[in-house]
Structure 1
Amino acid sequence: MGLELRQQLKLSQQLVMTPQLQQAIKLLQLSRLELVETVQQELLENPFLEEAETERSDLPMEEMPVEVDQTTATPEMTSPERSEEMIRSTDWENYLGEFSSISKQAQVRETEIPEEGVSFEARLASKPSLDGHLSWQMRLSHFTQRELDIGEAVIGNLDSGGYLHADMDDIRAMVPDAADEEIEAVIHRIQRLDPVGVAARTPRECLLVQLEILGETDPILLSLVDEHLEDLEKKRYKPLARKFKIDMEELKHYLEIIQKLDPMPGANFSSTEPHYVSPDVFVYKYGDDFIIVLNEDGLPRLQLNTFFADSLSQTAGKEKDYVQEKMRSAAWLMKSLYQRQRTLYKVVESIVRFQREFFEYGVTKLKPLILKEVAEDIGMHESTVSRITTSKYVATPHGVFELKFFFNSALDLEDGTQVGSESVKALIKKLIGEEDPKHPLSDERIGEILKDHLKVDIARRTVAKYRSAMNIASSSKRKDIL
């Protein structure tokens, strides 16, 4: 068969994801802190962007489309002349405006507190690490250099809870010619440093070391820790009382001693820092209405660098192409930021409309809600609502919640109406919190209470699923028989 070249015309549709469109979609799903970091990076890379120092005022710019149809739409291509005219004629300094309820804008004033003396950072001390704390103690004790080498190998294999997960072969690989007896002797001494019980191989060993340091020699207490930790965990108290021929009050006394021990001696030295949430939106109660205020604290106020913008008419060739590209990039970033903030405001405004009873009375009044309902309410695509509610938090009169929290499935009521699953979880948590510890509510009983008193049609397995999702133990493990 011969080969030949042909020209053929063909019409087709395809999705074109330009870098600008990708950036706009990316900005939608960034958290506030990630957004601040992204804008700061753009300020460093684009010479046509700079941070404005003046206060923001209402945005005079015409309304820009928020929705991006991801199946058919592509951004309109702007000519270099049109791009230059658009950028010069727009007051980009105030591109974000103030997003809040009309005529009820909360005025937030920043108070500058003068710092005197050394900087704030200089007043902070780093948190001591577990390995550093133990190494310091070893060097203050009578450890030989060989014992220090073995000790450093042991300390280097401790997990965040202070447990040793290396075996003899691992430690010998780091300290050649070390005998098992030498290694065990060093481990024994380290376990009696502060925190006591560190470098233990098992919880049993950890607790026994602590009892030794406390001077506890009661054979029943030592046997409970040495042989019956699993029975204690599963609250098999009556068989233990029969085995040791003691009454429940005596067993309770032993349990109180064990509960004062620390099964995770290294946890206080963990380097893991808590994750702090910075709300993206604040919702305040004002009379009979709610005010929505976007948190723009720390978000740079962007404007075009006038010095570089004025040089547009004085460039030619490749320089002019570079200038136009950077100016278009700056303009698109400003549009995308405005679009993101406006979309976020509209979504929260819709959530407040749908979940007004939650904002009035709390979690037990949360209604079932899906993304599609909010998307139809504000005239956007579901995927846009999904992206803008990802990793975003709202501060409400009842606490800080992720925006995804307001979207929950429905459970049927006997009168034909529905209730949100999160509301049911809150009710289950409340019932368990108020139960008698000696007679905890079973999942089946919780389901009966919800059905009899609150008219919620819920199965026992659903109660168990919601309870497990909230990390609440079963009734057998919650039971206090002492």
Structure 2
Amino acid sequence: MKPTLQLKLSQQLRLTPQLQQSIRLLQLSTLELNQEIERIVQENPLLELREDWNAPVAENTFEHPEFSDDVADFDSVPPEAAVSEVQAESEENFESDSEWPQENIFSHGTYEDDDHEAPQIPARPLSLREHLNFQICLSQISEREKNIISLLIDSLNEDGYLLQDLDELMEMLPAELGISLQDLQDALKYLQRLDPSGVGARNLQECLVLQLQALPDDAYRDQAIKVVQEYLEILASHDFVQIKRLLACDDQSLRAIQKLIVNLNPKPGAQFNSQNERYIVPDITVTKKNGTWGANLNMAAIPRLNINHLYANILKQEHHSSRGLVSQLNEAKWLIKNIQQRSSTILKVASAIVERQQQFFEHGEVAMRPLVLRDIAETLNLHESTVSRVTTQKFMYTPRGIFELKYFFGSHVSTDSGGACSATAIRALIKQLIQEENPRKPLSDNRISTILEQQGIVVARRTIAKYRESIQIPAANLRKSF
């Protein structure tokens, strides 16, 4: 075959680097966005991250013949989204700002002043191992016994349980240490008397018994210990009739016994494993004005970026400047514009959600309207994937709490009247019915389905069970009391 030349026309969709950056910024959470901005600011000297959020922002006024017009055009951005504007002061202002009054450099206090104390770093909370070792260090026992107890402490899991058998632990120890099985047993007994109560237990029953034994003398303590040791599974199944027959007690005594057991901590070491709280900075705040709920951008959650006016003035004066700085300036302006577009898109989507869910902000979850991504996408003329990116890890502060934007979306169930009811509203109705039920005769899933059907909401029993489990409510037999 002879080689030939052929012409072929085809269409390809290519994403520009600016569009790729816009999509990536849109799907980032506020925390991830701030981390990304800090990384870019460190790499690009043309960018500055300003921390004075409430200060006024001046308009970008510098020009350069090599800058493209479309990059410098910010007029297409809506005014309500102009939350991060480019600031480039004049050369005269920069020169005047650089003149530092020498007499004021050391005029504000010293380290001895109360107003200029070093910041206090919060102490790191003790771990379970440190808490237990601190107790044995203060005890009047031999150094050898402390070492053996420390060995057992190192074998505890996060909940404070010793899941490894003493015989297995004995086999792992070197023979030259001279530690016998009796030494381990004595050390375990001492460990189980330390704080918190129940630490060092090998199973749930032993953990609860240790906590009951550490309680002050009580008329029902011995019976509670017997229930834990022998009838714990029966108590978990809420078979109170059988427990009363086995203990030969009345309802009042069984209530007191159950109260003692329920107030125990099945995971005594979990309190030392709590991580630092994660704070959520909402992207949107919802307020009521003139009888209508509306969405507003949270300015504190949006990074305020500026163009470094020093480098900008250099590029303004030197027409034969470095191509690298010109490229970095264009990248900086694109980043600022993409952050504006991100804020604008989030505000548009949040406003559409608030407009659809006015009744939720007035009456709560029971008034939640059914809503899917397609509804918002068609209203705003956006793609569903864009709405999905906007509503992921973006939060809204409302008088009813802080919610992720995805919280307001959900499936719907048809009603007898021809309308639709949101799945969130059905979960709220189920929760409300269970809270108002008789604890002696809790509502079954079939009964809840019947009650909702009487209200015009047709929901199958399996759907009721699925919704009930999603809000972590146990079944009727486990909610039964006496």
Whether TM exceeds 0.5 here: the answer is yes
* 1:116 to 1:232, Cα distance in 2 relative to 1, 3 A: farther
Alpha carbons of structure 1 residues 266 and 294: separation in structure 2 relative to 1, 3 Å: same
Amino acid aligned to 2:14: V
* Equivalent runs, 1:57-136 vs 2, <5 Å: 83=67, 97=82, 116=115, 118-122=117-121, 124-136=122-134
C-alpha spacing 1:147/1:18, structure 2 compared with 1 (3 Å)? farther
Give the letter for the 1:263 counterpart: P
**2:294·2:354 contact (CA, 8 Å) conserved in 1?**
no
Kept in 2, the 8 Å contact 1:150–1:171? The answer is no
Aligned equivalents of 2:294 and 2:57: distance in 1?
A: 19
Q: Please, which runs of 5 or more residues in structure 1 have no aligned partner?
A: 62-79, 100-113
Distance 1:203 1:335 in 2: 58
Q: What percent of counterpart residues are identical?
A: 37
1:203 partner letter: L
Q: Which residue of 2 aligns with 1:307?
A: 310
**Residues 98, 379 of structure 1: alpha-carbon distance in 2 compared, 3 angstrom cutoff:** same
1:127-157 deviation line (CA, Å, top 9, x unaligned): 2221111000011113433333333332223
Counterpart of 1:290 in structure 2 is: 293
Q: Deviations over 1:219-258 (max 9, x none)?
A: 6433211122111111112112212323333222322322
Q: Is the 8 A contact 1:285 1:397 kept in 2?
A: no
Amino acid paired to 1:280: D
Please say if residues 282 and 301 of structure 2, whose CA atoms lie closer than 8 Å, have aligned partners that are also in contact. no
C-alpha distance in structure 1 between counterparts of 2:15 and 2:233, whole Å:
57
The two structures have a TM-score, normalised by structure 1, of 0.83
SS at match of 1:214: coil
Partners of 1:173 and 1:311 in 2: how far apart? 74
Greater mean alpha carbon deviation, residues 343-352 or residues 232-241? 232-241
CA distance in 1, matches of 2:208, 2:71: 70
> Kindly tell me: are residues 315 and 174 of structure 1, through their superposed partners in 2, closer, same or farther at Cα, counting changes over 3 Å?
farther
Instruction: Measure, in 1, the Cα distance between the counterparts of 2:58 and 2:415.
Output: 47
Q: Does 1:275 align with 2:278?
A: yes
Cα contact 1:58–1:97 (8 A) shared by 2: no
Q: 1:340 aligns with which of 339, 342, 350?
A: 342
Per the alignment, residue 207 of structure 1 pairs with 208
* Structure 1 pair 415–84 and aligned structure 2 pair: CA distance change class (3 A): closer
Q: TM-score, normalised by structure 2?
A: 0.83
Letter in 1 for 2:419: T
SS in 2 for 1:297: helix
Q: 1:176 aligns with which of 169, 174, 188?
A: 174
Number of the residue aligned with 1:68 = none
Between stretches 264-273 and 359-368, larger displacement belongs to: 264-273
For each residue in 1:172-206, what CA deviation from the matched residue of structure 2 results, as whole angstroms up to 9, or x when unmatched?
57742343332222122111101121021111111
- Aligned equivalents of 2:400 and 2:69: distance in 1? 48
How many angstroms apart in 2 are the aligned matches of 1:345 and 1:58? 23
8 Å contact from structure 1 (residues 467, 473) kept in 2? yes
Number of paired residues?
442
* CA deviation profile, 1:366-416 (whole Å, cap 9, x unmatched): 111110110110111110000010011111232221111111111111111
AA of the residue aligned to 1:32: T
Separation (CA, whole Å) in 2 of partners of 1:358 and 1:378: 21
Task: Say if 1:9 and 1:474 are closer, same or farther in 2 by CA, change over 3 A.
Answer: same
1:9–1:189 Cα change, 3 Å = farther
Q: In structure 2, how many angstroms separate the alpha carbons of the residues matched to 1:267 and 1:478? A: 25
- C-alpha separation in 2, matches of 1:360 and 1:200: 50
